[in-house]
């Protein structure tokens, strides 16, 4: 499907959007990105996403070209030019074009690309299967880097095993999913790993922690062992486009009762109510 995308100051049909083969995003995977959902025209948690984008840019020494208001203008234009009920916005900033040399000061101007795709609602409320895999990624997973080869391989391993997501374990502790954050529930207490370099500070994760705390549902940001993961009553994964998804099978074994749990039901209802209230306010 044709769409209008944003590339370096211009709005143009996706077929006409071109970048150089010497763009460092292509030659080095030298760039960062964001994915932001839009519900009924409201860009969900925009400020948080742009804060995280700015943090990623700072961490990799790429210049920040736009502030929040400028991003908002670009994204609103894309939403308008690509009508859909809900959207998934994608932003990618690379270091730009340079000779193929590791030295970053050879690149002069970042490449800025953004597009909007329809956000298709897939019903995952019956739960998904996951596998446990060793976390083979690097140490700076708090940066939303475009260099996603390990995650691509891990997702494919899940697929080969007939599952949807790979839950990752490093030195015996759960970090996150290949493209999601992880929550477990045991005896009514919700736990998610603390934010350090081993995982992406998910916008959905953070909001969910806030909502659980507000609702007086016990929620802890603590290290989770692989054993705790395997013995959990409930496991959920979260992401901006998938929201909160129950994991009902882990390595082909049922998680808890093998059905989406009660705490997940409560959590997802709270999340949907929050989304609806935000879209109404917009």
Ligand X SMILES: Cc1ncc(COP(=O)(O)O)c(C=O)c1O
- The residue ranges that bind ligand X (CB under 6 A) are 35, 176, 179-181, 200, 202-205, 238-240
Contacts with 174 (C-beta within 8 Å, 6 or more apart), sequence order:
167, 168, 182, 184, 193, 224, 225, 226, 228, 229
Smallest separation, CB 78 to ligand X (Å): 18
Smallest separation, CB 281 to ligand X (Å): 21
Question: Taking Cα atoms as reference points, which of 233, 231, 220 lies closest to residue 187?
Answer: 233
- Give the separation between CA 51 and CA 217, rounded to whole angstroms: 27
| Beta strand pairing call for 165-170 and 128-134 | parallel
- Complex with ligand X: residue 176 or 234, whichever CB lies closer: 176
**Biggest alpha carbon distance in the chain?**
56
- Give the separation between CA 192 and CA 44, rounded to whole angstroms: 22
Smallest separation, CB 271 to ligand X (Å): 11
Would you say 178 and 165 are in contact if contact means Cβ atoms under 8 Å apart? Answer: yes
Active site residues: 144
- Complex with ligand X: residue 5 or 154, whichever CB lies closer: 154
- Complex with ligand X: residue 96 or 193, whichever CB lies closer: 193
Q: If you ran DSSP here, which 8-state letter would residue 246 be given?
A: E
Smallest separation, CB 166 to ligand X (Å): 11
With H, G, I as helix, E, B as strand and everything else as coil, classify residue 10. Answer: strand
Which residues are paired to 97 by β-bridges? Answer: 23
| Start-to-end Cα distance in the chain | 28
- Complex with ligand X: residue 82 or 180, whichever CB lies closer: 180
């Amino acid at each position: 499907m044709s769409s209008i995308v944003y590339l370096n100051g211009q709005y143009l049909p996706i077929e006409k959007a071109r970048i150089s083969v010497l763009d460092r995003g292509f030659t080095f995977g030298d760039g960062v990105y964001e994915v932001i959902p839009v519900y009924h025209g409201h860009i969900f948690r925009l400020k948080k996403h742009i804060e995280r984008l700015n943090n990623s840019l700072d961490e990799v020494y790429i210049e920040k070209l736009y502030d929040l208001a400028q991003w908002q203008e670009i994204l609103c234009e894309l939403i308008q030019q690509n009508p859909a009920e809900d959207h998934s916005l994608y932003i990618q900033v690379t270091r730009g074009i340079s000779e193929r040399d590791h030295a970053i000061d050879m690149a002069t101007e970042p490449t800025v690309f953004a597009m909007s795709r329809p956000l298709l609602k897939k019903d995952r409320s019956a739960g998904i299967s996951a596998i446990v895999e060793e976390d083979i990624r690097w140490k700076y997973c708090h940066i939303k880097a475009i260099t996603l080869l390990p995650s691509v391989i891990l997702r494919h391993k899940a697929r080969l095993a007939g599952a949807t997501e790979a839950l990752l374990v490093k030195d015996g502790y759960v970090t996150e999913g290949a493209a999601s954050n992880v929550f477990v529930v045991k005896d009514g207490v919700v736990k998610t790993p603390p934010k350090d370099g081993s995982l992406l500070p998910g916008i959905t994760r953070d909001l969910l922690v806030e909502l659980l705390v507000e609702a007086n549902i016990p929620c802890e940001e603590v290290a989770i062992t692989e054993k705790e993961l395997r013995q959990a009553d409930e496991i959920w994964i979260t992401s901006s486009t998938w929201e909160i998804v129950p994991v009902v099978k882990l390595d082909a074994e049922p998680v808890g009762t093998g059905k989406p749990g009660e705490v997940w039901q409560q959590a997802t209802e709270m999340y949907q109510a929050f989304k609806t209230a935000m879209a109404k306010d917009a």
